[in-house]
Amino acid sequence: MAKKEKKFRPKARLPRGFRDQFAGDVSARLDMIDRIRTVYEQYGFDPLETSSIEYVDALGKFLPDEDRPMGGVFGFQDDDEQWLALRYDLTAPLARLVAERYDSLAKPFRRYQVGPVWRNEKPGPGRYREFYQFDADTVGTPLMAADAELCVMVAETLSTLGLQADEFKVRVNNRKVLNGILNAIGGDAETDEGYRQRLTVLRAVDKLDRLGGDGVRALLGKGRLDDSGDYTDGAGLDPSQIDLVMGFVEAGGGGNEAVCKRLEELVKDQEAGLAGVRELEQIAEFVEASGSNSGTVEIDPSVVRGLEYYTGPVFEAELTFEVTNDKGQVVQFGSVAGGGRYDDLVKRFKGVEVPATGISIGVDRLLSALVARDTAGEARRFGPVVVLVMDNEQIGRYQKMVTELRNAGVRAELYLGGSGMRAQLKYADKRNAPVVVIEGEDERNAGQVTLKDLILGAALSSEIETSEEWRKGQPAQIAIDRKELVGQVKEMLARHVPAGAS
């Protein structure tokens, strides 16, 4: 007898760096996105959706090699042997769209977009290969008012999400001022050696929050030995050059006007640097005129973001309150949004400069911050009201109840399993149902239904110690006339669900 071939069964496993999310997490994210969307639309931004897949050469930052695109994107070849990739952000697809449809777009073109992006990077704690971003961009204007508006808008967004003015700040810098400082240091940026030195300087400045002033000074000089014993080569600047860079980095504080004056003194002989200071002054003036959130937007020369990407102002929204990390350490949460001006991105396609500026919120990171701050859970999201099926022959009656509740705006469902009452109640509990509706034969003959408030019942069960106390009150379970179903269910829901929530 031939041996029976073993049937292949794939192993159920989730790819590294990805995650499954259930109703509570998904609902919390959707709620937060809706609140952000409301603010952005008040500012006149319109929604846009672009393709999740782009040609690799259109993404620009990554190019294909012999076998696959270079690291950082999830790429594949089409049947015509052109390389495609999942988008790694929402800005590169926007630049492609603007270049492709430039003549038909109203300019400035203002859009917001929310959606997942994918990065083929090494995953780690809190670092996923798929995550959500919420972007807003203004394309087609050189005015600094567009950059300032984004800073004010993200500040208003954080306030709308429940954060207080002392719990966040929007920090602003300018690439042109940085270029002025680098020009003052000297060296030819067009040579490989000069380019590497400048890049090392910028990377050192970007580590200020983590390493402090002494650590940055070491990286600007000969190099630094970290606690693990690893040595990082420095930029090789002399002491006077290090002082110049550190003077720039530490020029913040004391108000936006004072910061601009200090920066002007540092780059007074550099035309590009002075142009950047003038732009920061314009942003500060706009922010001051905006009103309520102006105090949360500050000019901070230590902000360094993607310096090969941005061409002018750069900004970062940072949360200042403390949370406990995975290692049990108390730390500040840090950045949840960032952006800046990228006047050269569309130019890659059109050959002419198209000024643009934008900001991106890290949706998942911001949501985790709100959960840590306990502002995301203020309006608890419950499951549906569940109508139990006590008699399969009467399922039409139960469906009618569900329809009445839905028509009245109540989220409701009919139990569609095949189990008895005890299992149905366990199901409703797992669904986080606030109320269940029960109509057995006795209730039906009496023209009644029984409503069970599961939320109140769970709370009372932890307080009532004897069965006698429970039988005496039974406040979480009531029998009502069938015709009062909708009104009584709404009354029960009102105990737990704020107006407008579900």
Interval 173-194: pLDDT, tens: 998 998 888 888 776 667 777 7
Q: Which residues of 32-58 are buried (b: 16+ CB within 10 A; e: fewer)?
A: bbeebbebbeebebeebebeeebebeb
Quote the pLDDT of residue 179. Answer: 84
Q: Residue 341 burial (CB < 10 Å; 0-12/13-18/19+)?
A: buried
Q: Provide the pLDDT confidence category of residue 117 given band limits of 50, 70 and 90.
A: very high
Q: Provide the pLDDT confidence category of residue 172 given band limits of 50, 70 and 90.
A: very high
Whether pLDDT at 502 is above 60: no
Are the C-beta atoms of 170 and 315 separated by less than 8 Å?
yes
Quote the pLDDT of residue 446. Answer: 96
The side-by-side arrangement of strands in the sheet containing 435-438 is 412-414, 385-387, 435-438, 448-453, 477-481
Whether pLDDT at 441 is above 90: yes
- Strand boundaries in 145-218, DSSP class E: 168-174
Q: Provide the pLDDT confidence category of residue 459 given band limits of 50, 70 and 90.
A: low
Quote the pLDDT of residue 500. Answer: 42
Quote the pLDDT of residue 191. Answer: 78
Quote the pLDDT of residue 472. Answer: 47
Dist. CA 344–CA 325, nearest whole Å: 38
Quote the pLDDT of residue 497. Answer: 61
Q: Provide the pLDDT confidence category of residue 62 given band limits of 50, 70 and 90.
A: low
Quote the pLDDT of residue 501. Answer: 46
Dist. CA 248–CA 237, nearest whole Å: 15
CATH number of 23-193+237-373: 3.30.930.10
Quote the pLDDT of residue 470. Answer: 42
Dist. CA 83–CA 59, nearest whole Å: 11
Whether pLDDT at 205 is above 90: no
Q: Would you kindly state where each structural domain of the chain is located, as residue ranges? A: 23-193+237-373, 385-494
Closest CA to 337 of 301, 297, 289, 384: 297
Whether pLDDT at 57 is above 90: no
* Residue 189, Ramachandran bin (φ over 0: left; ψ between -120 and 50: alpha; else beta): alpha
Placement of tokens 């009452």 in the chain: 421
- pLDDT (tens digit per residue) in 363-410: 999 998 888 877 554 445 688 999 999 999 999 999 999 999 999 999
Quote the pLDDT of residue 499. Answer: 44
Q: Which residue has the higher pLDDT, 125 or 241?
A: 241
- Choose from 259-273, 298-312, 487-501 the range with maximum mean pLDDT: 259-273
Contacts of 105 (CB under 8 A, 6+ apart): 98, 139, 140
- pLDDT (tens digit per residue) in 323-333: 776 666 677 78
Dist. CA 411–CA 398, nearest whole Å: 15
Residues facing 313 on adjacent strands? 174
Quote the pLDDT of residue 2. Answer: 65
Averaged over 233-259, what is the pLDDT? 89
Quote the pLDDT of residue 193. Answer: 79
Share of the chain above pLDDT 70, in %: 88
CATH 3.40.50.800 fits 385-494, yes or no: yes
Quote the pLDDT of residue 424. Answer: 94
Q: Provide the pLDDT confidence category of residue 498 given band limits of 50, 70 and 90.
A: low
Q: Which residue has the higher pLDDT, 211 or 109?
A: 109
Whether pLDDT at 217 is above 70: yes
Element (H, E) at 135: strand 130-139
Quote the pLDDT of residue 123. Answer: 83
Quote the pLDDT of residue 65. Answer: 46
Whether pLDDT at 457 is above 90: no
On average, the pLDDT of the chain sits at 87
